[in-house]
Structures are given as structure tokens and as C-alpha cells.
Amino acid sequence: MSLFNNMINLEKAFHAKIREIQRDLNAPKSEWNSFAKYKYRTCEGILEALKPLLLKCQLDINIDDEITYIGNRHYVKSTATLTDGQFKVSATSSAREPEQKKVLMSRN
């Protein structure tokens, strides 16, 4: 087998591991927002569910956060990188603080 074909097979195996994790990952919405009345996931909860799958597939994840200021708003830009040491795939997302903070009014 040529070196080129071997590299292609290794990359296919890497992507197969990613598909396996995507298929098996179950991160329930375990937190409750009582103000807006909805359930949500936390980063910590997702990572806890992900850890055993990463170990099984022999993959590592790294999450980098960067604070940026665009216009008059602060943003957190997060990049998650999944790797086997040879191949890697990354995804980036941004979030910002709300324009106005919601205030819970008490009824007295």
C-alpha cells in the first residue's frame, strides 16, 4: 500500500471515530432556567458526557476561548478542536452578553 493510500485510510478512520462520537453522545438538558422557564445544557455537562467517548475512540479535545470587542459589544469566541494527534477538526462559535439585562420583578 502506498504512503498516500495509508494516509487516506488513517484520515477515514479519524472521521469514522468522529461519526461514532456524534452517534453515541448523549448530553441531556439537565439545567433549568427558572426565569425564562426552559431547560439547557452546560459546557461542563457536555464535556462530562463526551469524556468516555473520547477515551474509547482515543481522541482529545481542546477548547480555546478568546474575548473580543466588536463595535460596542464584548464577544466570547470559542474554538473546539478534536484530534487524534495527526488529524484534527475544529469548530468555532461566538456568543455575546445581552443588550439589556432582564430584571425579575417581585410581586409584593
- Residue 107 maps to a domain: no
Distance CA 86, CA 96 (A): 33
Domain-located, residue 105? no
Residue 29 in domain: yes
Which residue range(s) make up the domain with 16? 3-96
Statement: residue 104 has pLDDT above 70: no
In a domain, 106, yes or no: no
Considering the domain boundaries, does residue 102 fall inside one? no
List, for residues 3-57, the tens digit of each pLDDT value: 999 999 999 999 999 999 999 999 999 999 998 899 999 999 999 999 999 999 9
Question: Is 62 in a helix, a strand, or coil?
Answer: strand
37, three cell numbers: 422557564
* pLDDT tens digit sequence for 50-95: 999 999 999 999 999 999 988 889 999 999 999 999 999 999 999 9
Question: What's residue 1's pLDDT?
Answer: 67
Kindly state whether residue 74 falls inside one of the protein's structural domains. yes
Residue 52 lies in a domain: yes
Q: In the prediction, which pLDDT does 56 show?
A: 98
Higher pLDDT, 98 or 80: 80
Tell me whether residue 101 is in a domain: no
pLDDT in the model for residue 107: 59
Res 98: pLDDT? 80
- Per-residue pLDDT, 103: 64
Contact 14, 84 (CB under 8 A): yes
Number of domains, the chain: 1
